[in-house]
Structures are given as structure tokens and as C-alpha cells.
Structure 1
Amino acid sequence: MTFTQLEIFALIAEYKSFTTTANRLGISQSAVSHALKSLEKHWSVSLISRSQGDIELTETGKKLLVHVKELLSISNTLQQEISAVHGLYEGTLRIGSFGASSSIVLLPLILDAFQKKYPKIDVYIDEGDDNEIPQWILERKIDVGFIIAPDERFDIFPLLEDIFIALVPSSYPIAEKKSIPIQDLADYPFLMTTAGSQKYVKQLLNRFGVKPTIKCHFSQMLTIISMVEKQNGISIVADMALNHELLTLYPHVVKRPLEPNTTRKIGLAVKNKKHLSPAAKAFIEVAQSVLSKA
């Protein structure tokens, strides 16, 4: 058994493709197949099954994959620790990012500073929704992920607080208010986001007993703004996820803070801070430093 074989198995499980795995590693497809067969022979188990061209993990494969990812994560951390001892920061860092808040607003700021300071660290960004990021951390698919705090499953490093705001057609009577009581939202058709804030918007409405008539669900902020512009309803979104320059193109859309003012806390989460790799630690330190000055 070698770490190369373990990495190949983990990549096959992720991509469900021998070809993609081979391309990712820069080796032949036959080499990928040989490595997997050698690992299966060494363990005397079947790790994957093929049915009509589809690749799926066997039950044994699913169980072993958890431990394989742990070993690969430890190996990556070990290599980074050795590099750090010699004053070099090298290796790979996988970051999980959700929605516009982290992908469009936070990451560009942080990565600019991080890559200037640590140019030899290869960074991969996996984008998902607010439910996928925690799962990816648990599965060791990513090393660190943006997350809404608190979450007792992880060690979380705080970054900042954001607020929820209402987007309202300027023709609606409540648009004249400086802030909008959450209970007033029940009187209008509601446009629900399905991006990173959906779970928290629902929790917010439930907390105040508001049951709006949900007209549509949308995953893109631009679509929500366009629908509000056309007076199809109102919406609640995270202020940070909103491109404020974009709003200038929609003169009939106004944003208003909610009453009471409602915040969410964004942080960077890891599975266990005791096993934090040097690259992940460096990224978290840069992120906190950059955002403390923003």
C-alpha cells in the first residue's frame, strides 16, 4: 500500500471517473486502474463497482474512504510541517466557499494577500451551499471552510458579522419606512433565496412567527433583484451577498434593515484545530488580519 494508491482511490471516489483522475494526476488511465487493482488486492476487498459505465463505491469502499482521507490529510499536514521547519510554506490548501458572501466578497480580499505572502501554496476553491460546506469539512474534502457560526461540530475562527436586509419595490408602502418590522413581511408576496442564506432566512421568519406567501425560489441574487424591480414581491438577503453597485441599475428597488436588526456571524471552520495544517493556519491568520482592517 502506498500514499499514491490511496490518493488515486480518493480521487476516483470524488470524480467517479478513471479518466478525470488520470488527467488530474498527469498519469495514464491504465496506471490509475493498475493502482486501484493493486490496492484492492493488497486489502483483499472490492472498493468500487461498475454498472453500465457508472462507478460507485462499494459499502466497504465507503467505510475505508473515511480513513483514507484522514491518512491523506495527515500526510499533507506532515509535508507542510516539514516545509515550515525549513522556512518554506508549500503544499495544497482546499477551501470551501458558499454563496456570494464568501466567494465574491471575502475570498478575493483574502486570497490577494494570502497568495502574495505564500505563493508556493496551491489553493483550490470548492463552492457549495451552506449545507455542503460542513459536510465537506467532515469528509475531509476541504481543509477549511467558510461557515455560519455557531456550529458545535467544528472549531471556528470568527471573521465578521453581517446583517440581513429586506429588498422591497419602491412602490410598496413599507418602502417608505427607514427600517421594516419583520412581521410586516407577511403582508406581501415573498421571494425566497435558495443560496447560502436560505436556512437562516427561514429560521428568522419562524422565530418571529412570520409565514409569508412564498411566490418563487431563486438561487441567483440578480434574479431576485430583477423580480423585486418588477414588483413581484419582496425578499430577505444577507447584506454582504448584495452587490451594492448593482442596485444602482435598479432604481425601483430599495434595501431596508430589518427591525429588530438581525445579524449572522461568519467564520472559518476546521474539523479539529489541533490537527490544523500550516497552510490552513496561515490562511486563517491572513483572513482574520485582512478583515480586521477592512
Structure 2
Amino acid sequence: MVMNMNNLYIFIKVAETMNITNASKELFISQPAVSKALKNLEDMLHVRLFIRDKKQGLMLTDVGKDILKLARQMQSIEDKIYQIADYENNLIGSTVKIGSVPTVTANILPKVLATFRLQYPHVQIKLVEGSSNQIKEWVEDRVVDMGIVAAPFDSFESEALYTDHIVAVVPEDHRLSEENKINLRENQHELIFCKSGQEITLDKLYEKSHCDLKNNLIVQNTETLVRMVENKLGIGIISIFSLASQPHNLVVKAIHPPIDVDVRMITHSFEETTPATKAFIKAMSQCTSEIFDSTATAQILSKIIYIKKTLALH
């Protein structure tokens, strides 16, 4: 029995869109051709890949979900074969699929992408944003070639990018502006969080101090958080790295309990990634090191480290 790879890739596209019409448009083939490819694949495998539900539309069966994972592995292997063949031609025709948390997308990836495209102008980049948990699912299911996530990293292979530190920010005339640190539990009802870092920060905060966070403000981005704090709406809780990218006149304070966030690149296997993905990972590591040596980040980081050392002596 010889597998028709074209039918398999049509199946992948339908599974991604869960809509035959949309899949046909993205594949530039007719809807009947898509339907026929799915039927041929199901007939060959003697299984149902989809359930056709009147209300919810297409739904993958359990065996369909398992086959989808394997199909993506096969597609990845085929991509790797072509990329190895094209490597001497500067990775022409290659694609890298990346999943990234918003903080990294906003503050690191612009420089990485610019650097990477100068060296590999013919490589296509597909970028999707999500929470760390979403990205780990995408890596697991091989929707993306690599992910950029915050700890924990589960069973994936990982490569360190940086360790971020969560800090508090207040206006200069705030009642806590002269304190060495801000106790999160004591001030739990005044905290403002940034959504892009909410998932990992809130989990760690609850784990360490069991704060009640139900009524706290949660904003979409760093700029909004800074504006909220400047208008004295609360105490901003944000990562050093995110804060360094936003101009402000706020006072930066260490927090108690301290919260550090490790950020890494993850994949099933760095050794088995495609040549284009390997090249991107290398560019990612180099650019991140350069960015974290920048003056703004280094100044804030050195201040927080000094505060932590001072507190440790008392």
C-alpha cells in the first residue's frame, strides 16, 4: 500500500481549517477535489478521519487526531529532505514555523527576523503568538517547528534564551516609592498585570504567596500598564525585559516574594530540526544575547540584583 502524500497534505490543511471551502481556497484547488482526497485517504486507511456534525461542522475523530500528528511528522521529514538538498543554495524555498509568547514577539523577534532575513532572504517565516501552554501544544502536535515559552518546559528539549525578573513599578510620589521592596500579598488588591505575561506571573504569584487576584486590573500591553500606573491606578507588576522597552518615569522596585521567569526555545529535538530551523535558532540565541547586553535592560537588572543582595544581608 503506497501512501498518496498529496492526499495526506490536503488532510492536514482541512484539519487546520476545519472547513473544506477554506482549505480549497488556501490550496488553490476545487472543493470536490478536496472532498475526493479525503474520501480516498479514508478508504485507503479504512477509518473515518472526520465527523460531519450539522451544528459544529467538521470534527476530527480520535484516530484522525492521531493520524494528524503522524502526518505532520511526515510533512516535517519531507521539508527537511528538501531543505538539506537546498542548503547549498542558501535555504531557498525553506519555511520555519515559530510559536512565540507576546513579550518575545514584541521585544526580541523584530531584530531576529531582520538579521535572519539579511542572511537567508529566501526562507519563509510563519509566526503565531500564544500563551506558553498553547505553544507547547503546537510543538507537541508539530503545528510549529519550534516554540519560545516560559517555564516549565515539560519533556521538550530546550535551549535557554534568558531569565527575566518580575518587578513592581510605582509613581515617584507613591507611598511605597521609598521602600526597598513591595510585598505583593500586603498590596494584592492594588496590583496591575500585563496580559502578555499574565499566565506565568499569576501562576507563580499564587504559588508563592496565595494572593487573591480576582479583582486586579489586567491590561493588554506594557504601554497601557505604564499609563495606568502613571495615573495612580495601582502598582504595576511587569517583567524587567518588557519594562526596558517602554519609556517611563516610574520607580522600579523589587517584589516579595521574588518571581523569576526562565524563557527558552523548545522543540522535539534540536538535532532533528530542519536546517532552516537550526539557522533560525542560532540567530535567535545571538540576537537575544546582544539585546540583553543593552544599556536599558542592564541598568534595571543591576539595580534589582543590588536590591536583592541588600535585602539578603538583613
Q: TM-score range by the shorter chain?
A: 0.7 to 0.9
Q: What's 1:43 paired with?
A: 45
SS at match of 2:58: strand
Query: CA offsets per residue over residues 92-135 of structure 1, 9 Å max, x none?
Result: 11000112x21111110100011111111111001111211111
Where structure 2 has 5 or more consecutive residues not aligned to the other structure, the ranges are 292-314
SS at match of 1:195: helix
Query: C-alpha distance in 1, partners of 2:52/2:244?
Result: 45
RMSD of aligned residue pairs (Cα, Å): 2.4
SS at match of 1:242: helix
Q: What's 1:67 paired with?
A: 70
Q: What's 1:263 paired with?
A: 260
Q: What's 2:96 paired with?
A: 93
Give 1:105-254 correspondences, 5 Å limit. 105-149=107-151, 151-177=153-179, 179-183=180-184, 185-186=186-187, 188-207=189-208, 209=209, 211-212=211-212, 214-221=214-221, 222-242=223-243, 244-245=245-246, 247-248=247-248, 253-254=250-251
Q: What's the TM-score, normalizing by structure 1?
A: 0.86
Deviates more, 1:55-64 or 1:112-121: 55-64
CA separation of 1:181/1:32 partners in 2, compared to 1, >3 Å: closer, same or farther? Answer: same
Shift of 1:71: 1.2
Query: C-alpha distance in 2, partners of 1:192/1:130?
Result: 17
Deviates more, 1:179-188 or 1:166-175: 179-188
Query: C-alpha distance in 2, partners of 1:172/1:198?
Result: 27
Deviates more, 1:153-162 or 1:163-172: 163-172
Q: 1:189 touches 1:212 (CA, 8 Å); kept in 2?
A: no
CA separation of 1:239/1:29 partners in 2, compared to 1, >3 Å: closer, same or farther? Answer: farther
Aligned counterpart in structure 2 of residue 10 of structure 1, from 9, 12, 27: 12
Aligned counterpart in structure 2 of residue 276 of structure 1, from 240, 261, 273: 273
- Quote the sequence identity (%): 27
Q: More strand by proportion, 1 or 2? A: 1
Shift of 1:198: 2.5
Q: Which AA in structure 2 matches 1:97?
A: S
Q: What's the TM-score, normalizing by structure 2?
A: 0.81
Query: C-alpha distance in 2, partners of 1:233/1:189?
Result: 5
Deviates more, 1:195-204 or 1:20-29: 195-204
Q: 1:190 touches 1:212 (CA, 8 Å); kept in 2?
A: no
Q: 1:98 touches 1:130 (CA, 8 Å); kept in 2?
A: yes
CA separation of 1:22/1:292 partners in 2, compared to 1, >3 Å: closer, same or farther? Answer: same
SS at match of 1:11: helix
CA separation of 1:217/1:199 partners in 2, compared to 1, >3 Å: closer, same or farther? Answer: farther
CA separation of 1:278/1:210 partners in 2, compared to 1, >3 Å: closer, same or farther? Answer: same
SS at match of 2:176: helix
Q: What's 2:288 paired with?
A: 291
CA separation of 1:43/1:194 partners in 2, compared to 1, >3 Å: closer, same or farther? Answer: same
